[in-house]
Amino acid sequence: TSKGNLDMLQTDENKQTVLHYAARSLHDNAENISVLAQLTDLSLREDKLSLSRVDKHGQTMLHVAAYHDRHSVIRFIATSTDKLEGQPTNSKENTIDGYTVSTWINKIDAKGHTALHVAALQNNFQAAKALLQVPNVYVNHSGNDGWTPLKCAAQRGHVGIVRLLLEARATPTPVSLSDPGGFNEVDACLQSGHVELARMMLAMQHNQMDLEREVGRLEDRLSRYERGGTVDRGACSSVCTVM
């Protein structure tokens, strides 16, 4: 079927549109981005909200592109913001914690996840980098489970994504060695056995003297997750010794 004969408003059983399929299937090269440009133009002629249409999971084409690491697709969408001007807005959708944001870049799915959450969870570095270059992307949004993209990346041990998010001013939860408090990014690392990443994130908030002085409490913190069988004891010991 030629592009001119496509029904751009048609959806499949998962409520995915042609643009969802394009975001998933088109690899990162100039020819495919040209195809995406044509599809986007056709879609916007029929439906001005087509770029932000969601499937049955509440995901836009941006979520899909982030999941499949289609960073060129994300960059193309980012350059299409002028085509979204004049779209009706919803104040609740466009505000997160009082922060006004663009609807499409920060739209959340059924889990409360933005496209940046998806890229962080999948360890898709280039997709995350492309998203962070889009104006008004919100790096600290918490999903329905209260997890930010930073905490998601930390829990899965995605060091590159963690560094990228921190450079983009993602805000880690303050960690007190003397009072562990709630479940934070360091706990997320330790729970899944990513001790070196936990060490890196602790070192960001405490100087070497603090860490050495509090090593006993740090051992207790690590032991809490050891008892759950998720952290290797040898790794814990080496980290505490280095600290």
Nearest to 5 by CA among 28, 39, 33: 39
Output the pLDDT for position 78. 73
Distances (CA, A) of 228 to 110, 165, 233: 30, 28, 12
Mean per-residue pLDDT, 32-56: 74
Pick 26 or 64 by higher pLDDT.
64
Mean per-residue pLDDT, 71-79: 81
pTM summary value: 0.75
Tens of pLDDT, residue by residue over 125-155, are 999 999 998 878 889 999 998 899 999 999 9
Output the pLDDT for position 184. 85
3-state SS class at 100: strand
- How far the first Cα of the chain sits from its last, in Å, is 62
Output the pLDDT for position 159. 92
Tens of pLDDT, residue by residue over 76-106, are 877 765 555 444 444 444 443 333 445 677 8
